[in-house]
C-alpha cells in the first residue's frame, strides 16, 4: 500500500513533464506498465519514460490500440545497482522501437514534484483501485519483475498484426521526432516564486493535470507550485 502514517504520495522529475509530455494522473497504459514491472514512477529512467511516451504517440498516429503486450514485445528490463537503482529498458531480441531521447540526462535530480492526492479516500479512481490497492507502486521497489518481450501474454490476431506493422518500421525511430507529432496546443503554466516575485513558466504538455494532485518542487532558493 503506502507508508504507514503518511498520506500517499509519489515523486516525479520535472523534465518528464517538460521534455516528454508526461501528465498525471497516468493513463491506463502507463499504470499497467508500472504495475507489471513493480516500479515507482521516479524509479523508471527518464529515457525509458521516453520510450513509453513515444510508443503511445506512434500507435495513435498509426491507428493501433495501445497495449502493454505490444510495447514490451520490443523491450526487456535492465536493473540498476542493487538493492535500489534506476530501471532501464533496452531492446528485446526483436529490437527496440526508438532511439534515446537524450544520450545523457544531467542536472535533473533536484528538480522534482511531490504528487499528493487532495482526496485521501483510497477509493479515489485516479490513484487507487476500488479495493484500495494503488494502481502502481508509489515508492521505490527492490523486487522488480524482469521481462524480455511479450512471452506469457495472450495476443489476439489483431494484436499480432499490429506488432508486425511496428516491426516493419525502419528502426530505431527518432524518439524526438515521434514525440513532436502531437499538437503542442495544450500548455500547463507554472507559477515561479523566487526573490523577484512571480513569473510564468510555460511547459508544453500533451496531457493535463486533474485536481486530485498538488504539485511542488524546490530548486535552490526557488520554490514552485502548480496553479
Q: Does residue 168 belong to any structural domain of this protein?
A: yes
Q: Which of 85, 74, 79, 91 is nearest to 145 (CA)?
A: 79
pLDDT the model gives residue 124: 57
pLDDT the model gives residue 114: 85
**Residue range of the domain that includes 21:** 10-226
Please state, rounded to an integer, the average pLDDT across all residues of the chain.
Answer: 75
- pLDDT (tens digit per residue) in 41-87: 999 999 999 999 999 999 999 999 999 999 999 998 887 766 667 88
Q: Does residue 5 belong to any structural domain of this protein?
A: no
Number of domains the chain contains: 1
Q: Does residue 4 belong to any structural domain of this protein?
A: no
* Cα–Cα distance measured from residue 186 to residue 81, given in angstroms and rounded to the nearest whole number: 37
Q: Does residue 55 belong to any structural domain of this protein?
A: yes
Q: Does residue 42 belong to any structural domain of this protein?
A: yes
Q: Does residue 112 belong to any structural domain of this protein?
A: yes
In this model, does residue 214 exceed pLDDT 60? no
- pLDDT (tens digit per residue) in 97-155: 999 998 777 777 778 888 877 766 655 567 887 777 889 999 888 777 777 666 778 88
Percent pLDDT > 90 in the chain is: 36
* Cα–Cα distance measured from residue 180 to residue 183, given in angstroms and rounded to the nearest whole number: 8
Q: Does residue 14 belong to any structural domain of this protein?
A: yes
Q: Does residue 1 belong to any structural domain of this protein?
A: no
Say if residues 75 and 51 touch (Cβ distance below 8 Å): yes
pLDDT the model gives residue 133: 83
pLDDT the model gives residue 53: 95
Mean pLDDT of 176-202: 46
Beta bridge partners of 87: 44, 79
Mean pLDDT of 182-202: 34
Amino acid at each position: 500500500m503506502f507508508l504507514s502514517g503518511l498520506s500517499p504520495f509519489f515523486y516525479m522529475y520535472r523534465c518528464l513533464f517538460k521534455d516528454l509530455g508526461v501528465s498525471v494522473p497516468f493513463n491506463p497504459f502507463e499504470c499497467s506498465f508500472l504495475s507489471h514491472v513493480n516500479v515507482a514512477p521516479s524509479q523508471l529512467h527518464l529515457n525509458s519514460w521516453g520510450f513509453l511516451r513515444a510508443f503511445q504517440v506512434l500507435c495513435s498516429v498509426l491507428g493501433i490500440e495501445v497495449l502493454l503486450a505490444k510495447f514490451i514485445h520490443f523491450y526487456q528490463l535492465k536493473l540498476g545497482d542493487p538493492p535500489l537503482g534506476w530501471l532501464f529498458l533496452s531492446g528485446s531480441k526483436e529490437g527496440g522501437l526508438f532511439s534515446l531521447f537524450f544520450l545523457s540526462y544531467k542536472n535533473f535530480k533536484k528538480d522534482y514534484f511531490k504528487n499528493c492526492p487532495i482526496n485521501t479516500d483510497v477509493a479515489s479512481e485516479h490513484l487507487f483501485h476500488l479495493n484500495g490497492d494503488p494502481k502502481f507502486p508509489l515508492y521505490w521497489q527492490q523486487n522488480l519483475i524482469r521481462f524480455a518481450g511479450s512471452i506469457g501474454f495472450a495476443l489476439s490476431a489483431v494484436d499480432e498484426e499490429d506488432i508486425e506493422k511496428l516491426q516493419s518500421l525502419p528502426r530505431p525511430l527518432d524518439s524526438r521526432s515521434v514525440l513532436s507529432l502531437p499538437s503542442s496546443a495544450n500548455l500547463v503554466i507554472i507559477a515561479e516564486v523566487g526573490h523577484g516575485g512571480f513569473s510564468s513558466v510555460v511547459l508544453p504538455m500533451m496531457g493535463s493535470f486533474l485536481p486530485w494532485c498538488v504539485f511542488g518542487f524546490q530548486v535552490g532558493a526557488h520554490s514552485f507550485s502548480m496553479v
